[in-house]
Amino acid sequence: MKEEWPRLGQPPSKRSTLPPNTNVKSHSAGPKLSLNDLPNELIFLILDYLPDCSKARDSSVVAADRQDFVNFSSTNHRFYLLVRGYLYESYNNSHGSSYLFIRTLITAPEVAHKVKTLVWTYDYGANSPRIKRRYVPTISDRGILKSGMKALGVPDWKELATACSEIDKTKRTDSFRPSLFRAVVMLTPNLECLYVTDRGTHQYPRRWVDPIRSIVNGNSYGLVHRFRHLRCVYLTDMPLSDIVPFFRLPSMRTLDLNDFDQFYHSDLFRWSLPHSCSPVEQLRLHKCCIDADVVAGMIASCYALKTFHYEYFAQDADSELGGFWSSNNDTIRTKLYYPSLGAALRQHSHSLQSLVLNDSQNSGLEGLGATGTLGSLNGFTTLHYIHVPLSAFVGLDHQRSSPNPTDQLPRSVQELRLETRRNEPPSAFGPAMDGLAANCSTLLPSLVHVRVESKTSPSRFTLDWVRLENIFKGAGVSFRVYHSLLDTDNESDCDWDAY
């Protein structure tokens, strides 16, 4: 019998003729697979898609992201063992009880080795109704904590254990006491990142810094680990003397200081670290008001700085003195002083990649702009990103500074962001912008983007922006300008009619 085959180019019939004795197994009749049947490798890939709560500092975000891992770990013992590394990789004291967390670190040392990120807030929102009630430790809990502190071998382990177990009836939660944070820091040997928001009193030193201070001085601190993995630290509003140990820690790479106001706390601290002794590569100061010599000392103490950002923010000052009066009738020169910063930055001419300076004229203090100029940055070989006021190169006294910033910029710069401020004469910057546009193709061969932010009134700052844009465009450079008083989007296109 001749078999009939489908014609060439036609798909075979969906109905296939099978012998009568052929057994066909239905897929629905087989065993059903569940998540528990997957190998560990596939489960780890699934867990990688869950939000990383170690990178979130907002308590509500951390709580939501952490709950996903908690639900997964509660399924069975196997899932708990798989998710434990994700669950304990980070800890935020705004979520859960810090006392119970310390108890877990003591009773399960393998968990303590998995903690890499700590997010800690002092006394901020401690009475918020969203935060769980404080945990009242039992006699057994107190014994566990006492034995754990004793095992650390710190000199004041008894006082520390007592302070951790005491109950503060004025607080809704136990998660914000300094003693608890000190214990957590000493119990986490693989700590890599530390976020500390300190809203407490500024007068007393921070005891949790004592282990780091002792270690960088070459001394042991009981049996506490030596912070060999701590690379990133974000600090808020602490005495300046307490940040010095972080500059000396061998593993430190990124240091962010936020809301440090030396004048507000009448802090007459002077920087004393020698040059090129710190491994810090990224130094960022956000909304800080620190003595100019101290900031220059911070820069000079770094061995090879790659990033320096300084957002200068002064809430109150004497503009005629260029500084502040302290309680001891001594003047602190907190005004942003460009010459000292430029001299310190030139030490890193072969390593600096990003430079941002902002003297926060948005604060409304018209007389507190930075003084002097940075000087030439020609010798910088790796500086790709610059965001500074135009006056940092041109200056307000044009007889003492070059009107052409191109002569002072490095050939390596790729993106340049310049600002003009409210209290500066607009006529000062016309020749500077013309010189920059005319010479950028020859003196700045790597330049790709130029952004200008004008904080001057449009009626005063009347430059021919269209002409400048055409010159930059002819040199192959993208040029955009926006007015901070008019544009709500910092990256909005130029509103030429506004000038």
pLDDT band at 15, cuts 50/70/90?
very low
Mean pLDDT (whole number) for 438-459: 84
pLDDT, tens only, 101-151 = 999 999 999 989 999 999 988 754 444 444 455 678 899 999 999 999 999
Supply angle C-alpha 232, 353, 382, rounded to 5: 140
Higher pLDDT residue, 124 or 174? 174
**Least confident piece of the model among 102-106, 184-188, 492-496:** 492-496
Element (H, E) at 431: helix 430-443
- Tell me the average pLDDT of the chain: 78
Say yes or no to pLDDT of 414 above 90.
yes
Question: 145: phi > 0 → left, psi -120 to 50 → alpha, else beta; which?
Answer: alpha
**CA dist 58 → 65, 93, 119, 334, 493 (Å):** 11, 11, 9, 31, 33
Q: What pLDDT was estimated at residue 328? A: 43
- Angle between helix 178-187 and 157-165 (nearest 10): 120
Reply yes or no on whether the pLDDT at 364 is more than 50.
no
Q: Across residues 427-447, what is the average pLDDT?
A: 85
Mean pLDDT over 347-353 rounds to 96
The answer to whether the beta carbons of residues 12 and 6 sit under 8 Å apart is yes
- What's residue 124's pLDDT? 46
Q: How far is it, in rounded angstroms, from Cα 273 to Cα 332? A: 19
Lateral strand order in the sheet of 117-122: 90-92, 117-122, 193-198, 232-236, 254-258, 282-288, 307-312, 354-358, 385-389, 415-420, 449-454, 478-483
Residues 6 or more apart whose CB falls under 8 angstroms from that of 477 comprise 440, 441, 447, 448, 449, 450
- pLDDT per residue over 258-317, tens digit each? 988 877 666 678 898 999 999 999 999 998 888 888 999 999 999 999 999 998 876 654
Cα 423 to Cα 198, 287, 324, 360, distances in angstroms: 34, 20, 20, 12
Q: Which two tokens stand for residue 199?
A: 């809203």
Residue 368: pLDDT above 70? no
Note the pLDDT of residue 279.
97
d(CA 279, CA 299): 11
pLDDT score recorded for residue 144: 94
- pLDDT at residue 436 greater than cutoff 50: yes
The answer to whether residue 366 scores a pLDDT higher than 60 is no
Q: What is the pLDDT of residues 31-66, one digit of tens each?
A: 677 777 788 888 878 877 776 654 554 544 455 566
Mean pLDDT of 251-262: 92
Q: What is the pLDDT of residue 422?
A: 65
pLDDT reported for residue 398: 45
More confident residue, 207 or 54: 207
pLDDT band at 444 (very low <50, low <70, confident <90, very high): very high
Q: Is this structure's pTM higher than 0.75?
A: yes
pLDDT of residue 216: 94
Which of residues 200 and 417 earns the better pLDDT score? 417
